[in-house]
Amino acid sequence: MKKLTLLKFGFVITALISFNPDVLAQSFDGLDKSPHDITYYRESRVTPPIVKVIYGRPQKKGEEVFGNKVAYGQLWRTGANEATEVKFYQDIMFGEVKVPAGTYVLYTIPGEKEWEVILSANLDVLGAFQYDPVFDVARITVPSNKAEELESFSIAFKEKKENIQMVLGWDTTRVKIPITINQKEEYALKF
């Protein structure tokens, strides 16, 4: 009898929480205005990933972004909130720098004509607040180009001959980071 009473009590509490709009609304207060996204690079749909990027997607909201919302010449977290993380599943060349397989934080220093792109081994940090150059694994410079307007900051991959490019885009700015896969591995489906 005692078990039945506890079960009824649990059901009533669950029902009150589930159907009370104030409780439901409160649980989502303060949700991030710049949700996180994940992008992968794979050689095909059936091959394991080679690169994975987890990043926050800030919105333009009618403002000019680079040189205004994101200052030129200043370290940027390359997204929003937590630092952007890049996982390489195998050794790669990041520009001309050999980078071993592993997970890194991606920072950038935007400029009008070119950007510095930094991979850091210091993980699980909030934005650029905890950046320390001691942990730099790679630092390269890439050109900045103009393209059509993009409302949300985005990261995607583009294949170019033997290499891939990690493309950063926001507002009318595009930055292409060259990545060379050291060994193209053949994968067979196993059943």
pTM for this model (two decimals): 0.79
- CA-based end-to-end distance of the chain: 52
Would you list the domain boundaries of the chain? 33-181
- Range with lowest mean pLDDT among 12-26, 55-69, 116-130: 12-26
Compute the distance between CA of residue 119 and CA of residue 104 in angstroms, rounded to an integer: 6
CB atoms within 10 A of CB 2: 6
What is the number of alpha carbons within 13 Å of residue 170 lying toward its C-beta?
Answer: 24
**Which ranges in the chain belong to alpha helices (H)?**
2-19, 21-26
Tokens at residue 57, please?
A: 């997607």
Q: In the predicted model, what is the mean pLDDT of residues 56-60?
A: 94
Model confidence pLDDT, tens digit, residues 135-154: 999 999 999 999 999 999 99
Model confidence pLDDT, tens digit, residues 89-116: 999 999 999 999 999 999 999 999 999 9
Give percent above pLDDT 70 in the chain: 77
Return the CA Rg of the chain.
22
